[in-house]
Amino acid sequence: MSLRIHDILEFSGANGPGSRFVIFFQGCTLGCPNCINPRTHDVNGGRVELIKDVVDRIRERACSIEGITISGGEPFLQPIALKSICTEAKEMGLGTIVSTGFTIAELSSNVSNVEDLFHSIDALVAGRFHQEDALPTGLVGSHNKQIVLFSNRYSLDDIFSTARLEIDINDSMLKASGTGVYDLFDWNTFI
Residues of the chain with pLDDT under 70: 136-138, 162-191
| Helix-helix angle 51-61:79-91, to 10 degrees | 30
Domains of the chain, first to last? 2-186 (3.20.20.70)
pLDDT digits (tens, 9 = 90+) for 142-179: 778 899 999 999 999 998 886 655 556 666 655 555 55
The pLDDT of residue 60 is 98
Strands ordered across the beta sheet of 20-25: 47-50, 2-12, 20-25, 67-71, 95-100, 123-126, 146-149
